[in-house]
Structure 1
Amino acid sequence: MCGHVLTVDCGHGSLDVIVVNSNLGGGLDLYASAWEQATGNAPPGETKCSVQLSGSNPIQGEGPRCYYAPDSEMDNAWFRMVGVFNVGARMVTGATLNGVAGAFNGVQPYFAFQGGPIGGDGQVVFSFNDGSTFATLLRDCVREQAKQMWS
């Protein structure tokens, strides 16, 4: 769910939030500013909310965008880690680089590719749960060095 937009309603109006990491134990953890807005400044703790997957894109722009994982090696000819954002309500089910499947750890929205040499002309193809795909060249993936955390 990383990188997806969820619409959360805890009885104080709906709020769109961006998933920044996966809570493998279940539930939804909100940053303080989102918690206060969603719950009407309720004390910290647990509350019941409705949560729906939104079709909104988390980053300005139309259509999918390939990104390098922040802090990952970007010019290593033997290892690359990339993901895709702005996929609307679709779920990414897999990714290949030059036809070789990437490893996905389930916690972060990035796929790791090992082997090589891996050049910038390599084609990355992301597959989605609706059967569609998005293909791009590795050199066109966004190289963002800083992590952005939303709250």
Structure 2
Amino acid sequence: DYIADRATDAQKLGALETAVQRLERDFGSRQVPWGDINRYQRNDGAIVQEFSDDKPSIPVPFTSSRWGSLASFGAMAYPGTKRYYGTSGNSFVAVVEFGPRLRAWAVTAGGVSGHPDSPHFGDQAERYARGALRPVYFYPEDLEGHVERRYRPGM
């Protein structure tokens, strides 16, 4: 609302011209796909990542919730980068159907492990970026064939 109510036409056009110049400088064209700019990157287990355009990353179609995106992905450029890398938004997205039998689908941004050597460190990153939720195994019979190990506190 601030921009709509207070920015002059000249300020709006100036901001657009600056954005076009940056796209042409950094990406070679003003017609760059959003996924070439907006990226997911997880390099290691550090809480604060050091992002690099030279390291592997995944295109993400989502935007910040500020712009109305339900699957929120807040990204920005970091020192030395041209691309935007996400550090805020939904870390977990789920849909639950309540009824006689519960059914649910979910995805976790990245993976469910903070350990880079774990196979689950980034195993859901592509799925998250595609918005492809996986079934949630809720009932004991749902778990059959999907359990890597069992843990029972106190036993």
Task: Identify whether the pair has TM-score above 0.5, normalized to the shorter chain.
Answer: no
Structure ranking higher on relative contact order (CA contacts 8 Å, 6+ apart)? 1
TM interval, shorter chain, is under 0.3
TM-score using structure 1 length: 0.25
Which structure dedicates a bigger proportion of its chain to helix? Answer: 2
Structure with larger Rg: 2
With the length of structure 2 as denominator, give the TM-score of the two structures.
0.24
